[in-house]
Amino acid sequence: MDIQDDKVINCDVLVVGGGPIGSTAARFAAKNGVDDVLVIEKRQEIGSPVRCAEGISLTWLDEVEIEESDHFIKKKVKGSKLYSPNGNKMTIGKELAGDEVGGVLERDIFDKEMAVLAGREGVNFMLKTAATDVIKENGKVTGVKAKKMGEEFEIHADLVIGADGFESQVGRWAGLYEQIPSKDIMTCFQYRMVDIDIEPDYTHFYLGKVAPGGYVWIFPKGDDKANVGLGVQLNQLDGNKSPKDYLDEFIDSHEGLKKGQAVDMVAGGVSVGHPLDSVTMDGLMMVGDAARVVDPLTGGGIANGMKQAKIAGEVAAEAVEKGKVDEDFFSRYEERWRDRLEDKIWRNYMAKEKAVELSDEEFDKIIDALSEVDLTELTTEAILKAVQKKYPELVESFKDML
Ligand SMILES: Cc1cc2nc3c(=O)[nH]c(=O)nc-3n(C[C@H](O)[C@H](O)[C@H](O)COP(=O)(O)OP(=O)(O)OC[C@H]3O[C@@H](n4cnc5c(N)ncnc54)[C@H](O)[C@@H]3O)c2cc1C
C-alpha cells in the first residue's frame, strides 16, 4: 500500500467490504500473485454485529480452501425437517439439503477467520473506513472516495472488487445496476433464543403463511439454543405487520419456543432475485451479495458468494499481472462463475417465483407427498415428479419446469 500524501492511497486491488466474500476474494487475489491488496471495511470489527441465521453445508469448504474447524462451526446437524402449515413433516438428510444445511456457524468468528486467512496471504485491512463513492475516469472505475473517522481521502487501484453486501452501493454508484425490486427482497427478523425445547440435531423450516413468500427457520446452536427467525418477501408483507410481528406470532404458538428467552435480535435483508446480466465493468468486479448470487429459494448467500469470490480473486490476479483490467478481460470471470453457479440460481429463482403463489393447503399436499417418497436428490425436478405422483393437478402450473 503506497500512501502518496494524506489524501491519496494507491494499491493494486481494492476490495470494498470485509465480509466473508470480500476477504475471500482478497485472499485469492493475493495468493495468486497480487502484492498489494487492500480491504476497506466500514465497521470497526470484522464480523460484528452478526446478521445471519448461520446455516451452511460443509461440503464446499474444500473448494474455497478452508479447513473445517470447531472454532467457527458451533453445531453440526444430521439434516433438515420441513413442516407444512397443518403439521405435515418431512426429513431430509444433510447430503440432500443444500448449501445451507450441515452446520451452524459462529458467524462472527467465521468472518474473522476469513480475514485471518487473507491476512496470512499479505492482504491489508483498513477498518472503520467506508467507501463513499466510486471514482471513474473515462467510464472506467479507478478507485473510491473514502472516509475514515471524519478524514476524507481517495484510494486509487488498478482494480476494485465490490463486496459491500446486500445494501451494496458500489454497483449503483458505478452505474452497473439499479435497486432490487421489492418482490426480490426477503426481509428477515431473527432472535437468538435460549432455554427452548428443540430437536437440536436438525435444522427446521416452517412453510406457508407463517412467513409469506419465505419461511421460518430454527437453526440450533446447542441443546437449548437456536437462531429462530424468518424471512418474508417484501411485497407480501400484510399491511402494517412487520417481520417481527410474524415471528412473535409464530413463537407464541409454539410452547417449546414461547417458554424461552430472546438474548439477541437481528434484522436484515436478502436479495432473492435472478442473476444479473453483468457484474463487471472496466476496473470493477462485483462479488457475493453485492453481485446478487444468493440462492433465491433459501436466501443462503455464503456458499455461492465464497465460490464466486475465489474465481474473482484468481481472475483479478491475472488481470493485474497482464495489465488488462477491463470488461473484456473480466468476461473470463463472468464465464467461470456463471458456469459454476448460474443454472442453479436461475432454477431456484423460478421455483421461488412459483412457491410464492402456493396456498397453505398446497404446501400441506406437497409435504405430504414428499414425506412418502425416498428422494435421492433434491432437485426441483425430483420434487415435482414426486408430488406429481400423488397430486398431479398441483404440478400442472409447474410443468414448464419439468
Ligand atoms: C437475517 C439473515 C439471515 C441469513 N442467513 C443465512 C444463512 O443461514 N446461510 C447463508 O448462507 N446465508 C445467510 N444469509 C445471507 C448471508 O448473510 C450473506 O449471503 C453473506 O453475509 C454475504 O457475505 P458478503 O461478504 O457478500 O456480504 P456481508 O457479509 O454483508 O459483508 C459486506 C461487508 O461490507 C461492508 N460494507 C458495506 N458498505 C461498505 C462501504 N461503503 N465501505 C466499506 N465497507 C462496506 C459491511 O460493513 C460488511 O461488513 C442471511 C442474511 C440475513 C440478513
Cell numbers given for 379: 432437485
Cβ 226 vs Cβ 216: under 8 Å: no
Residue 215 has pLDDT above 90, yes or no: yes
Q: Does the structure show a pLDDT above 80 at 94?
A: no
User: Which residue puts its alpha carbon closest to atom 50 of ligand 1?
Assistant: 52
Closest CA to 131 of 234, 307, 284: 284
What letter would DSSP give residue 112? H
Cβ < 6 Å from ligand 1: which residues?
16-22, 40-43, 51-56, 100, 130-131, 163-166, 169, 188, 190, 229, 266, 268, 270, 288-290, 294, 299-303, 305
Of the pLDDT bands very low, low, confident and very high (cuts 50, 70, 90), residue 286 is: very high
Whether domain 2-50+109-181+273-353 has CATH 3.40.50.150: the reply is no
**C-alpha 376 – ligand 1 centre gap (Å):** 32
- Tell which atom from ligand 1 comes closest to the C-alpha of 40: 43
- Name which residue leads in pLDDT, 382 or 365: 365
**Residue 65 phi, psi dihedral angles, 5° rounding:** 60, 50
Residue ID of nearest Cα to ligand 1 atom 1: 52
- State yes or no: pLDDT of 100 exceeds 90: no
**What is the rounded CA–CA span in Å between residue 103 and residue 118?**
23
Band (299; pLDDT cuts 50, 70, 90): very high
The residues facing 130 across adjacent strands are 147
Which of 270, 279, 292, when mutated, tests ligand 1's pocket best, judged by the most ligand atoms within 8 Å of its CB?
A: 270
How would residue 383 be classed by pLDDT, with cut points 50, 70 and 90? confident
Task: Give residue 177's pLDDT.
Answer: 87
Query: Which amino acid is located at 164 in the chain?
Result: D
Does the pLDDT value for residue 156 go beyond 70? yes
Whether the predicted pLDDT of 146 surpasses 90: yes
Instruction: Give the residue extent of every domain in the chain.
Output: 2-50+109-181+273-353, 75-100+189-270, 354-401
Give the per-residue pLDDT at 376: 65
* Ligand 1 atom closest to the CA of 20, numbered from 1: 25
Q: Is the pLDDT of residue 216 over 90?
A: yes
Please enumerate, as own/partner, the contacts of 135-140 that have beta carbons within 8 Å and a separation of 24 or more: 136/174, 136/283, 139/281, 139/282, 140/281, 140/282, 140/283, 140/325, 140/326
For residue range 220-243, what is the model confidence (pLDDT) as tens digits? 999 999 999 999 999 888 888 999
Mean pLDDT, rounded, for 355-372: 90
CATH number of 75-100+189-270: 3.30.9.10
**What is residue 289's DSSP assignment?**
G
Distances (CA, A) of 226 to 70, 164, 238, 300: 17, 27, 27, 17
pTM of the model: 0.95
Q: What is the mean pLDDT of the chain?
A: 93
Give the residue-averaged pLDDT of 146-165: 97
Question: How far is it, in rounded angstroms, from Cα 324 to Cα 200?
Answer: 51
Ligand 1 atom nearest residue 129's Cα: 43
Task: Give the pLDDT band (50/70/90) at residue 135.
Answer: very high
Q: What is the pLDDT of residue 10?
A: 97
Region 363-387: mean pLDDT is 80
Residue 208 reports pLDDT greater than 80: yes
Q: How many angstroms separate the alpha carbon of residue 166 from the centre of ligand 1?
A: 6
Q: pLDDT tens-digit profile of 104-122?
A: 999 999 999 999 999 999 9
Tell me: pLDDT of 22 over 70: yes
Q: Please name the amino acid found at residue 26.
A: A
Name which of 2-11, 242-251, 344-353 the model is least confident about: 2-11
Band of pLDDT at residue 351, cut at 50, 70 and 90: confident
Stretch 137-154: mean pLDDT: 96
pLDDT at residue number 1: 74
**Which of 72, 215, 289, 294 best tests ligand 1's pocket when mutated (most atoms within 8 Å of CB)?**
289
302-322 and 20-31 helices, crossing angle to 10°: 30
Give the mean pLDDT of 138-167. Answer: 97
- Split at pLDDT 50, 70, 90, the class of 374 is confident
* Exposed/middle/buried for residue 104 (C-beta within 10 Å: 0-12, 13-18, 19+): buried
* DSSP 8-state secondary structure symbol assigned to residue 175: T
CA–CA distance from 111 to each of 21, 302, 337 (Å)? Answer: 9, 10, 22
- Whether residue 401 is predicted with pLDDT greater than 70 in this model: the reply is no
Q: Give the integer Cα–Cα distance in Å for 46 and 113.
A: 9
